[in-house]
Amino acid sequence: MDYKDTNAASTTITYDKGAIEAPTDNIYEAISIIAKRATQINSDLKKELVEKLDEFATYNDSLEEVFENKEQIEVSKFYERLPKPTALAVEEWLNDKVYHRTPDAE
């Protein structure tokens, strides 16, 4: 999924409790599902960021030399400006983009 083209809030906002718990009728279950999705989004974003930063990596044996790579800084700033994974997960939850199921109790 493309997390860059999203309408998720970049700051903290208040959500309607009824809208959050509507799909499951249980606020705790809904929050648990949102938290698991946020963890998935976070790992995807981290993997993508590491791959992009590795393109600009310079390897040397000298610890005294520190290079500031402008491209690395710009990529890092871009990812810092993205909405947090929890905001992305809540937006997906409210727009019914998260698939969830409850295993049948035996």
Q: Which domain holds residue 81?
A: 18-94
pLDDT digits (tens, 9 = 90+) for 31-87: 999 999 999 999 999 999 888 888 776 666 555 555 667 888 888 888 888 899 999
Q: Is residue 73 part of a domain?
A: yes
Give the separation between CA 7 and CA 70, rounded to whole angstroms: 28
Q: Is 56 a member of any domain?
A: yes
Two tokens at 82?
């993205």
Establish if 6 belongs to a structural domain.
no
Secondary structure (H, E, C), the chain: CCCCCCCCCCCCCCCCHHHHHCCCCCHHHHHHHHHHHHHHHHHHHHHHHHHHHHHCCCCCCCCCCCCCCHHHHHHHHHHHHCCCHHHHHHHHHHCCCCCCCCCCCC
How far from chain centre, in Å, is Cα 86?
6
Is the pLDDT at 22 greater than 80? The verdict is yes
Asked, for residue 102, whether it belongs to a domain, the answer is: no
Is 4 inside a domain boundary? no
Per-residue pLDDT, 102: 80
Whether residue 70 is contained in a domain is answered as yes
Identify whether 105 is part of a domain: no
Establish if 64 belongs to a structural domain: yes
Is residue 23 within 8 A of residue 101, CB to CB? The reply is no
pLDDT of 106 above 90:
no
Q: For residue 65, what pLDDT is reported?
A: 55
Q: Which two tokens stand for residue 45?
A: 């974003």
Segment 19-37 shows an average pLDDT of: 94
The domain tally of the chain equals 1
